[in-house]
Structure 1
Amino acid sequence: MQLKPIAQQVVTVVGASSGIGRETALRFAQRGAKVVVAARGQTGLESLVNEIRTGGGDAVSIVADVADFNQVKAIADYTIATYGRLDTWVQVAATGVMAPFDQLTPEEFKRIIDVDLMGQVYGAMVALPHLKREGRGALIHISSMEGRRSMPLQSAYSSAKHGIEGFLESMRVELKHEGIPISVTSVKPAVINTPFYNHVRTKLGVKPTGIPPYYQPSLVADAILYTAEHPTRDFIVGDIGKILDVLQRLSPPLVDALLLLIAFPGQRTNEPKFESAEDNLFEPMPSDNRVEGDFGHLTIPSLSDWLMRHPTITAMLIGSILVTAAFLAIS
């Protein structure tokens, strides 16, 4: 399966006003792609388009709530109306509530499913016809390591991310059965330093946090741009995410025990924040359109991501290690 170089692509990024989506849109534009950005917040989109155009890039924006199918369809229609085609669709938009399950209301749980799962489904539904017409393209869905291993205090978010994984697996095989060369990628970030923890609703009495260490949003953008040119099934972002994936496969009870020790204190800061505070569950937060969040001091690099993006060098390194091991064994 051959995908176009990014400089020749028309890319739609849904959930682009802040965080991973904003960084990704900027990076696509810097690489020469024509970019359509969508989100609920008009202020964030306008500042993003201005930033892209100031840097010499080509971008337009459209306001949409991904929980509404017709609004998501409008994003695809606007992409085609503006640029005539679609090559890559990136679905990032997400929201959440940090709370024990028994403190969630039905409306809150449903809203998270509508945005975090159904928004992903709607995105694929509206993008696929255009990608099929082009005869190739990429669907890139931003899931989470919580699609492999659920976290306490995030039951609705974890449910949505598990749903994304099941949905993508089914769709991927259907496309292969039809012989349609469309790449379907699940990007699974570990804990990322975005404003997500400022935006979500909390019932913990304090500002929530992910369990450190964090990784910077640029690392996820690297993965997204890589998979836009190189068909990839899954891309786990962050060394810790890959370690968690292995542990979950080996022993879910062991991960249960680890989370009992670290997940409840580890997802709380000491900064008071109450349920009445502003959040983005039902309405956008136009005042916060940053790429990075408040936890830059807790971020670390990830060697495994670099290796995944450079498979030839990785294969050479593994080959050298095997040859060296064989030589030492013979000696």
Structure 2
Amino acid sequence: MQLKPIAQQVVAIVGASSGIGREAALRFAQRGAKVVVSARSESGLASLVNEIHQLGGEATAVTADVSVFEQVQAIADKAVATYGRLDTWVHSSATGVFAPFEQVTPEEFNRVIDVTLMGQVYGAMVALPHLKREGQGALIHISSMEGRRALPLQSPYSCAKHGVEGFLESLRVELQHEGSGVSVTSIKPAVINTPFYNNGLTKLGVKPTGIPPYYEPSLVVDAILYTAEHPTRDFIVGDVGKVLDVLQRVSPSLVDSLLVLTGFKGQKTDELKSADAPNNLYEPVAEHDRIEGDFGNLTIPSVTDWFDRHPALGWGVAGTVGAAVLALLANQASGGKS
């Protein structure tokens, strides 16, 4: 399967006003792609398009709520009306609720599903006919390691991301059966330093956090750019994500135990925050229209991502990671004694 060079692509990026989507839009434009950016935040999109134009790039914006099919359809229609076609669809929009399951209302749970799962479904529905018409293209969906391993205090988000994984697996096989030239990629980031933790509705009494360590959004964008040119089934971003993936396959009960120890305190900061504080469950929060979140001091580099983007060297690093995981499991089995 061949995909066009980025400089020749028309790319739609959904969830582009902040975080991963915002940096992806800037990087695609810098590489010469024509970009259509979408989010609920009109002011965030306006500042993004202005920044792209200042860099000499081409961009247009569509304000849309991904929980409404017709508004998602408008994104694809705008891309084709403005630039004549669509080559790559990047879907990054998501929202979450941080709370014990018993404190989540039906309406809140449904809203997370509508945005974080159904928005991705709608994106594929509207993009796929245009990609098929071109004879090739890429559907790139930003999932999460929570699509492989759910976390406590995030049941709606974990549920949505598991749904994304099931949906993409089904769609991918259907397209393979057709002999389609459309690539379907699930990008599964570990904990990333974006405004996601500022934006989420919290009922924890404090500002939520991911379980450290964090990785920079640029790592996820590197994976997006790579998969826009190189058909890839799955791309886990972050060394810790790859270790978690192996541990979950080897011993889910071990991961249960680890999360009992770390998954509750590890998702809480010391900063008080009420459930009434601004959040993006139903409306955008303009002050969070930026790429990075508040946890830059907790970010670390990731080694394995570079090898995943250079697969000729990937087997060596896979062996290294495997050895590290086995060593960790052996250490756990011996009660942590060295």
TM range (shorter): over 0.9
- 1:58 maps to amino acid: E
Q: CA deviation at 1:313?
A: 3.3
| Partners of 1:152 and 1:287 in 2: CA distance | 28
- 2:3 maps to amino acid: L
Q: What SS does the aligned partner of 1:280 have?
A: coil
Aligned equivalent of 2:50: 50
Compared with structure 1, are the counterparts of its residues 317 and 210 closer, same or farther at alpha carbon in structure 2 (3 Å cutoff)?
closer
| Partners of 1:280 and 1:313 in 2: CA distance | 41
- Is the Cα–Cα contact under 8 Å of residues 209 and 269 in structure 2 kept in the other structure? yes
Q: CA deviation at 1:179?
A: 0.8
1:141-220 correspondence to structure 2 within 5 Å: 141-220=141-220
Compared with structure 1, are the counterparts of its residues 251 and 129 closer, same or farther at alpha carbon in structure 2 (3 Å cutoff)?
same
1:33 counterpart = 2:55: no
Aligned equivalent of 1:106: 106
Aligned equivalent of 1:249: 249
Instruction: Report percent identity of matched pairs.
Output: 73
- Is the Cα–Cα contact under 8 Å of residues 307 and 317 in structure 2 kept in the other structure? no
Q: What SS does the aligned partner of 1:284 have?
A: coil
- 1:285 maps to amino acid: V
| Partners of 1:27 and 1:158 in 2: CA distance | 28
Aligned equivalent of 1:322: none
Q: What SS does the aligned partner of 2:288 have?
A: coil
1:267 counterpart = 2:286: no
- 1:170 maps to amino acid: S
Aligned equivalent of 1:326: none
Q: What SS does the aligned partner of 1:65 have?
A: coil
1:56-95 correspondence to structure 2 within 5 Å: 56-95=56-95
Q: How many positions carry a matched residue from both structures? A: 319
Q: CA deviation at 1:316?
A: 7.7
Q: CA deviation at 1:314?
A: 3.3
Q: What SS does the aligned partner of 1:66 have?
A: coil
Unaligned runs of 5+ in 1: 320-331
Q: 1:126-176 CA distances to partner (integer Å, 9 max, x unpaired)? A: 000000000000000000000000000000000000000000000000001
Aligned equivalent of 1:308: 308
Q: CA deviation at 1:318?
A: 8.2
Q: 1:201-240 CA distances to partner (integer Å, 9 max, x unpaired)? A: 0000000000000000000000000000000000000000
Tell me which stretches of 4 or more aligned residues in structure 1 moved more than 3 Å. Answer: 313-319
Q: 1:17-59 CA distances to partner (integer Å, 9 max, x unpaired)? A: 0000001000000000000000000000000000001011110
CA RMSD of aligned residues (A): 1.1
| Partners of 1:317 and 1:118 in 2: CA distance | 36
| Partners of 2:29 and 2:218 in 1: CA distance | 14
1:228 counterpart = 2:239: no
- 2:290 maps to amino acid: R
| Partners of 2:83 and 2:176 in 1: CA distance | 28
Unaligned runs of 5+ in 2: 320-338
Compared with structure 1, are the counterparts of its residues 318 and 161 closer, same or farther at alpha carbon in structure 2 (3 Å cutoff)?
closer
Q: 1:290-326 CA distances to partner (integer Å, 9 max, x unpaired)? A: 100000000001000000001123358889xxxxxxx
Q: 1:95-142 CA distances to partner (integer Å, 9 max, x unpaired)? A: 000000000000000000000000000000000000000000000000
| Partners of 1:305 and 1:260 in 2: CA distance | 28
Q: What SS does the aligned partner of 2:36 have?
A: strand
- Is the Cα–Cα contact under 8 Å of residues 304 and 317 in structure 2 kept in the other structure? no
1:129 counterpart = 2:129: yes
- Is the Cα–Cα contact under 8 Å of residues 33 and 58 in structure 2 kept in the other structure? yes
